[in-house]
């Protein structure tokens, strides 16, 4: 499975189900050779992308790596889903936050195992 066509395409039709999920996401990227780690919250997630909300900006076009932490009901460790992607959209939400759309390089194949249709 490939995560194309790109969401940058104006004729893009969503191919995969999106889940309205709010989980902590650790985002890492490099800008000017300097590593930055920021915290974000997911707003929605699909097999091929994430919409994140944060107080920090990430340059559009940046390659990022992410780890989304999903708490579990049991006493065991939380589930961590990791991946890499590209920032395809950055939007400022006046007075609140910045929304960052990330298109995954590879599908988050475990996602539907945790959130069945």
24-114 has which CATH code?
2.40.10.220
| % of the chain with per-residue pLDDT over 70 | 80
| For the chain, percent of residues with pLDDT exceeding 90 | 54
CA gap 97, 11 in Å, rounded: 27
pLDDT in tens, 62-111: 999 999 998 888 767 788 888 999 999 999 988 889 999 999 998 876 55
- Whether the pTM exceeds 0.75: the reply is yes
Per-residue model confidence (pLDDT) at position 114: 53
Distance in angstroms (rounded) separating the CA atoms of residues 66 and 105: 11
pLDDT, mean of residues 52-63: 95
- CA nearest 108: which of 51, 61, 53, 45? 45
């Amino acid at each position: 499975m490939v995560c194309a066509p790109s969401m940058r395409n104006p004729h893009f039709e969503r191919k995969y189900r999106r889940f309205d999920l709010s989980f902590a996401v650790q985002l890492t990227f490099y800008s000017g050779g300097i590593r930055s780690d920021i915290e974000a919250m997911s707003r929605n997630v699909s097999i091929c992308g994430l919409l994140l909300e944060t107080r920090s900006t990430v340059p559009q076009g940046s390659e990022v790596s992410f780890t989304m932490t999903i708490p579990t009901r049991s006493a065991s460790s939380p589930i961590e889903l990791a991946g890499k992607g590209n920032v395809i959209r950055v939007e400022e939400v006046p007075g609140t936050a910045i929304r960052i759309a990330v298109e995954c390089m590879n599908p988050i194949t475990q996602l539907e195992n945790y959130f069945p249709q």
